[in-house]
């Protein structure tokens, strides 16, 4: 039975999306309790920024190695192990008694999370035809956005009802169960259904030379750097801010309750949910990835600039659209991997996807810590001043993202048809 024509591929797709949904909740859920962690553990804003950054530092640092290993050995093992690591880290976080344990827990979550998206891209590439890939990538991005959405008002209400430890403990256990489900679906059942099933096996004789040549091409390739900067500008600014300072921003600057601030963030997540499938559809409708992507980058840049121009406190009637468009950009960032899939050979998609993802989460590493240092510096003044100067960071990062969009070199229709035949 051919995997790409089997009905079972939809079981794989649904299982992967379910796991991704729960994993993504743990990227931003800690941002809901930043102020509680500061009070309970007596830590500064810079420490909260470090807790967020260490997670994304592990994520960013492992992207290229995971991409290389997944291209070589196949994506299933790394996706399963990463899901378990995410679950274990979340459980430890829920039981932590000091900031050192919190740090270790977020490091484990980041290491687990690092394996997820690259291997989802590879799994979708293996189980689905090239013409299905862009649309399904948009749906996968939408699943992640629903995960972000769950980590706002629903998770905030759960925290208010039971305290912060119980929700994290239960989600950690669910993630461990997802790891078991992935093993059953991707490995055990696949071996029963497909006699030709196998993970990639590569002899060790040419591995070093092959990887060195690949990395040389990677770091000298304009298209790879374009995808890196695209993700740097869209994903890191959104994830870094949402996962650390968005809820405190609503509470401190606008005097909102935690629930109200979570609802504000939910506006951005609605934008992200819409952004993934809609932008994928638009790019397909106009047979272009670059043009709609540049428009998205421009809108996100102008939205972050709006926070800065209004001295960190735009009026509410603009605040809501700003968050919506920033979230939309995060959802639309799925186009980064459509560019990768279109531009590179399938055997290189893993490592190039990892490189692009590194850009997004490198900025997610930098933003929370830099933002936290600025807030600490202006601690004795009105809180809005610190946020005002803090917004210079996402403005600069979004500008780099726009430059990445401009750098994308789009293939001609003839080249696309040739690649489709070879795939």
Q: Does residue 91 surpass a pLDDT of 90?
A: yes
What is the DSSP annotation of 64-120?
HHHHHHHHHH-SHHHHHHHHHHHHHHHHHHHH--SHHHHHHHHHHHHHHHHTHHHHH
For residue 34, being part of any structural domain is answered with yes
The reported pLDDT for the residue numbered 400 is 94
Average pLDDT over residues 375-390: 73
Decide which of 229 and 208 is more confident.
229
Rounded distance between C-alpha atoms, residue 12 and residue 345, angstroms: 23
Q: Does residue 140 surpass a pLDDT of 90?
A: no
Decide which of 261 and 327 is more confident.
327
Q: Evaluate whether 279 touches 334 at the Cβ level (below 8 Å).
A: yes
Average pLDDT over residues 241-253: 81
For residue 206, being part of any structural domain is answered with no
Highest mean pLDDT among 110-114, 258-262, 324-328 belongs to: 324-328
For residue 153, give its domain range.
11-192+218-418
Rounded distance between C-alpha atoms, residue 216 and residue 220, angstroms: 6
Specify burial of residue 259 (Cβ count, 10 A radius: 0-12, 13-18, 19+): middle
Number of domains making up the chain: 1
Distances (CA, A) of 216 to 50, 210, 213: 32, 10, 5
For residue 1, being part of any structural domain is answered with no
Rounded distance between C-alpha atoms, residue 26 and residue 328, angstroms: 20
Q: Does residue 421 surpass a pLDDT of 50?
A: no
The reported pLDDT for the residue numbered 196 is 55
For residue 4, being part of any structural domain is answered with no
For residue 325, being part of any structural domain is answered with yes
The reported pLDDT for the residue numbered 88 is 94
The reported pLDDT for the residue numbered 180 is 94
At 402, which helix (H) or strand (E)? helix 392-407
How many CA atoms within 13 Å lie on the side-chain side of 266?
A: 14
Closest-CA residue to 394 (of 337, 326, 336): 326
| Mean model confidence pLDDT for the chain | 82
pTM of the model: 0.71
Measured at the alpha carbon of residue 363, what is the angle toward residues 322 and 118, in degrees to the nearest 5? 105
Lowest mean pLDDT among 40-54, 70-84, 91-105: 40-54
For residue 5, being part of any structural domain is answered with no
Closest-CA residue to 340 (of 329, 331, 332, 351): 351
Strand blocks (E) in 263-347: none
The reported pLDDT for the residue numbered 233 is 92
The CATH number that applies at residue 322 is: 1.20.1250.20
For residue 172, being part of any structural domain is answered with yes
Q: Given pLDDT bands bounded at 50, 70 and 90, which one contains residue 169?
A: very high
Per-residue pLDDT reduced to its tens digit, 304-346: 999 999 988 899 889 999 999 999 998 888 888 888 888 877 7
Both structure tokens of 31: 């941002």
The percentage of the chain sitting over the pLDDT mark of 90, rounded to a whole number, equals: 25
């Amino acid at each position: 039975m051919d995997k790409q024509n089997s009905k079972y591929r939809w079981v794989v797709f649904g299982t992967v999306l379910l796991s991704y949904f729960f994993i993504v909740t743990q990227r931003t859920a800690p941002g809901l309790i930043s102020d509680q962690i500061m009070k309970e553990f007596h830590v500064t804003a810079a420490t909260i920024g470090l807790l967020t950054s260490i997670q994304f530092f592990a994520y960013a640092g492992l992207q290229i190695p995971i991409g290389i290993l997944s291209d070589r050995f196949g994506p299933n093992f790394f996706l399963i192990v990463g899901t378990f690591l995410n679950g274990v880290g979340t459980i430890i976080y829920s039981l932590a008694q000091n900031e050192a344990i919190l740090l270790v827990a977020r490091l484990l979550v980041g290491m687990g999370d690092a394996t997820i998206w690259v291997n989802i891209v590879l799994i979708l590439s293996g189980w689905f035809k090239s013409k299905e890939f862009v649309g399904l990538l948009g749906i996968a991005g939408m699943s992640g956005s629903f995960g972000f959405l769950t980590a706002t008002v629903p998770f905030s209400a759960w925290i208010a009802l039971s305290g912060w430890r119980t929700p994290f403990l239960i989600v950690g256990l669910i993630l461990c169960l997802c790891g078991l489900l992935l093993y059953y679906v991707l490995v055990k059942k696949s071996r029963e259904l497909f006699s030709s099933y196998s993970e990639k096996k590569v002899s060790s004789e040419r591995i070093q030379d092959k990887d060195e040549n690949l990395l040389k091409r990677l770091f000298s390739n304009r298209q790879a750097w374009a995808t890196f900067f695209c993700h740097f500008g869209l994903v890191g600014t959104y994830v870094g801010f949402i996962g650390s300072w968005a809820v405190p921003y609503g509470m401190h600057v606008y005097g909102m309750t935690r629930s109200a601030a979570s609802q504000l963030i939910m506006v951005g997540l609605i934008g992200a949910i819409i952004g993934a499938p809609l932008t994928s559809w638009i790019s397909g409708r106009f047979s272009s990835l670059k043009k709609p992507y540049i428009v998205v980058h421009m809108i996100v840049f102008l939205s972050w600039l709006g926070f800065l121009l209004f001295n960190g406190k735009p009026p509410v009637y603009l605040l809501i659209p700003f968050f919506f468009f920033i979230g939309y950009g995060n959802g639309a960032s799925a186009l980064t991997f459509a560019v990768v899939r279109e531009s590179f050979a399938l055997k290189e998609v893993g490592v190039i996807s990892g490189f692009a993802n590194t850009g997004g989460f490198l900025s997610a590493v930098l933003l929370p810590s830099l933002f936290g240092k600025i807030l600490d510096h202006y601690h004795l003044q009105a809180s809005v001043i610190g946020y005002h100067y803090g917004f210079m960071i996402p403005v600069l990062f979004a500008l780099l993202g726009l430059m990445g969009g401009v750098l994308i070199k789009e293939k001609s229709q003839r080249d696309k048809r040739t690649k489709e035949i070879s795939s």
